[in-house]
Amino acid sequence: MEEGQTKILIPVSVQDDIAGQIKMIWDVIKAPLLVPLLNVGVYLCLVMALMLFAERVYMGIVIILVKLFWKKPEQRYRYEPFQDDEESGTSHYPPVLIQIPMYNEKEVYKVSIGAACGLSWPSDRLVIQVLDDSTDPAVKQMVERECQRWASKGINIVYQIRENRTGYKAGALKEGLKRGYVKHCEYVAIFDADFRPEPDFLRRAIPFLEGNSDIALVQARWRFVNADECMLTRMQEMSLDYHFTVEQEVGSATHAFFGFNGTAGVWRIAAINEAGGWKDRTTVEDMDLAVRASLRGWKFVYLGDLMVKSELPSTLRAFRFQQHRWSCGPANLFRKMVMEIVRNKQVKFWKKVYVIYSFFFVRKIIAHMVTFFFYCVVIPLTILVPEVHVPLWGAVYIPCIITILNSVGTPRSIHLLFYWILFENVMSLHRTKATLIGLLEAGRVNEWVVTEKLGDSVNAKNNKTNVTKAPKRPAFKFGERLNVLELGFAAFLFFCGCYDYVNGKHNYFIYLFLQTLTFSIVGFGYVGTIV
């Protein structure tokens, strides 16, 4: 050994001593503190799992009954299609406003404006309003030129800008309704910048509003043009298809209520005004308006066979921002409105129960929390604390049934079900964090990041699936891809998996290692690159 260098040697007996002391401290803490806490955690998670299970079974039973015995919306409500009449001209068509809110949408502005201008509705009874909150002067110029191009063809289209983005989308929609040139409009159809309605959209939706004075909203289903682009979009399709196929359908058929999806819907303007108009107090202004309108007795109709093409986020960064908004906003709205719903006297008791318990509490809060805490925290911890027992029905049987019920919306992706479970468990961490922020009204509660769109285009002639590849995604730096919290949980689950492999009795290590891999993929930000 060279002079000046020292080598510290710890005797084996000392190492054993340290390990023995750590084990002793662990045993001292475990029995009086960790075991009772973990037992409480298991009981709470089992209760939440049973709540979610009961809600999913209820929804499954109702959707079967709806499909077998319920009449279609056209038969449940007064519905008379519009017919062209040479004598009366277009006077029997109600004036309709189309609102297209935009924010730096250079990839999709042309196709969305073109789809709105192609709607089959008398041009003298239609006003198209492009609400552009873009901050990029070049994008503003392009959007304005596109509006001018359509205006030169005789389309009644107006390019509208604001001096600031106060209220974000809600502020833009509210400001648009104040314009004098739309005061004569009875209905307003809203389409986000990546949504492309078919020409007959208004002809199929407006008759419900015309024939039924108590209907405030007609909501269409989303159809995803880039669902096959990568694994990330396939996972989103599975989650959203359940929402549209089951949740929206059941809410519409049983209580004439569901949450407005913010786009691809037609509102009665009088209902918007009666409900208090657009508000920007949460990041889910669409759901806020829907709940307020429902509390005033208005009814909603969901049309599952009326589909509007749209685009799914195909980068993990964009998807995470979207999921934060979709998880934080409802929780924050629940905090703000729960007592208003309880005190309301204009709606029936069972509808209030449905809105508070099923719509908000179970779907928007419990579903995220039980997925994360039970399957990513409590069950792994029981491996380290074997004194705590999780019954097999709670750990395996109930999750399997819930998963099968969730998969009914997208049967073509049934082979991806296992990976979808792992991915949803990972995203439950992000959603739970956002839900807690919303409930506690902390931190990023009012954060609004517009979902990035890459601009798919439809090419029916050259592509059998009617979908073309999106432009190349912008390259992100490695640091921007990194999600530290997910990587931390990957390390925790890997440790629990190794411990179970060596000392455990449950063989959970197979699930834990697979979950570790999925947490790692998301942690390094590479989900969107898997095709």
Task: Determine if residue 167 is left, alpha or beta; phi over 0 gives left, psi from -120 to 50 gives alpha, anything else beta.
Answer: left
Choosing from 133, 192, 194, 280, the catalytic residue is 133
Tell me how far apart the alpha carbons of residues 450 and 325 are, in angstroms, rounded to a whole number: 10
Tell me how far apart the alpha carbons of residues 118 and 127 are, in angstroms, rounded to a whole number: 12
Cα distances (angstroms) measured from residue 207 to each of 215, 235, 299, 386: 11, 35, 15, 62
Buried b (16+ CB within 10 A) or exposed e, 350-365: ebbebbbebbbbbbbb
- Please confirm, yes or no, whether 286 is among the known catalytic residues: yes
102 within 8 A of 190, measured Cβ to Cβ: no
- Greatest distance between any 2 Cα atoms in the chain: 109
Question: DSSP string covering 446-475, please?
Answer: T---PPP-------TTT-TTS--PPPPPPP
- The DSSP bridge partners found for residue 189 are 98, 266
Which H or E element spans position 391?
none
230 within 8 A of 530, measured Cβ to Cβ: yes
- Please confirm, yes or no, whether 124 is among the known catalytic residues: no
Question: DSSP string covering 181-244, please?
Answer: GGTT-SEEEE--TT-B--TTHHHHHHHHHHH-TTEEEEEEEEEETTTTSSHHHHHHHHHHHHII
Choosing from 192, 241, 286, 500, the catalytic residue is 286
Just list the catalytic residues: 133, 286
